[in-house]
Amino acid sequence: MSASRQRILLIDDAALWGGAEVVLGRYVAFLEGWHRVVVRSVDAPEPEERWGGERQYRIPFPHFPPGLSNPWVALRAMPGALRCAWRLVRMARRERVAVLLVNTLWALVPVVLANLLLRLPLVYVVHHTDVPMNRASQWLFGRCTQVVGCSRFVADMFGCVPAERRRVLYNSVEAEEVVGVDIREALGWQGRWVIGYVGRLDDGKNVDGLLRGLAEARADLPEAAGLVVIGEGPAREALEALAGGLGLGDCVHFAGYLEAPWSVAGGLDGLCLASHGEALPLTILEAQARGVPVLASPVGGIPELIEDGVTGLLTEGTSPAAIAAGLRRLREHRGDATMTTAAREQALTHFSPERQREGLLAILDEAMGAS
């Protein structure tokens, strides 16, 4: 079945702009020539033009407990889910859509309920690893035509879904030219070895472990080190206090949220991601595409991006000691053009927008053919 000139409903209930929303924005761009209807949360603060599409709607999505773990809270959320589902039914019929694509877990609840009436192909794209596998969530996953992981690791988590209905669609990256800022000059850090973190500041990202690892490793480094933390999140205040308590106040800079983070991060000596869990971080691909060496924890889909010592460096775990050992290795690889060249070539070849677009169209074509 040809997927050209089809009509699609793309649904995301996130109230914040994160990696999954960046990816959905790319999906909208890839589907130029389709009639693209984007449904977003009323709480999402980003301007409409960040996603585009022929039509955009904002509706209130219900808030469910993590993992649908508390049945009473989930039950109280059901009236909102049913109202949301009925809105989606009317919207899909009005727009005459042929396929549904859901980008977030909790949006899946009203979408599955709506699809009991619509009976359309339903594609669920997963961008995270904290996926509940209880009876309620498995019932939801079982009603999807395709479950798509952004990495092989994520796709393999869905053992409750038959293999023929699981797919992998890797994230992509472009080699964008960014006007850089000399962060060393801006901070008065001339002559320092400067590494960075780019991402949300929450417990799962283990930035506290990175700070402790830096505190442990700094005495062994041949020159003064600096760490630039780019991003915002609920853990920022605690992380700033921790940096001061570890005696890192003079070598850690919290830059906050930056609209163009790679204007700063592109000039770093390394990117460090010490997360406890990751699906397939865009940050790593962005660093590799710009020739910035990466040190990351070997969790989730990260080993699908980094072959240790070849396209980057992997720590032996997420403890401060493991991170400290990784930082020492990263410093030893300073100026290693072989590793950064291999990483850049891999990122721009195997994780190109063209590949992601072809994969998305194939998945939608297959889903519509299976319906």
Distances in whole angstroms, Cα of residue 315 to Cα of each of 223, 299, 302: 21, 10, 11
pLDDT at 253: 96
* pTM for this entry: 0.89
219-241 confidence digits (pLDDT tens): 888 788 999 999 999 999 999 99
Band of pLDDT at residue 17, cut at 50, 70 and 90: low
Q: Around Cβ 302, how many Cβ atoms within 10 Å?
A: 23
More confident position, 71 or 100: 100
Mean pLDDT within 144-153: 97
308-343 confidence digits (pLDDT tens): 999 999 999 999 999 999 999 999 998 889 999 999
Query: At what angle are helices 71-95 and 108-118 packed, to 10 degrees?
Result: 50
* CATH superfamily placement of domain 183-350: Glycogen Phosphorylase B; (3.40.50.2000)
- For 7-172+352-370, the fitting CATH number among 3.30.390.50, 3.40.30.10, 2.40.160.20, 3.40.50.2000 is 3.40.50.2000
State phi, psi for 171 to the nearest 5 degrees: -65, 165
Please tell me the distance from the alpha carbon of residue 106 to that of residue 332, in angstroms, as a whole number.
44
Domains in the chain: boundaries: 7-172+352-370, 183-350
Q: What is the DSSP string of 330-347?
A: HHHTTT-HHHHHHHHHHH
- Amino acid identity for residue 4 in this structure: S
Q: Around Cβ 333, how many Cβ atoms within 10 Å?
A: 17
302 contacts 296 by C-beta, under 8 angstroms: yes
Mean pLDDT within 284-306: 96
Do the two domains 7-172+352-370 and 183-350 of this chain adopt the same fold? yes
Residue 20: Cβ-neighbour burial (10 angstroms; 0-12, 13-18, 19+): buried
pLDDT at 3: 44
Q: What percent of the chain has pLDDT over 70?
A: 91
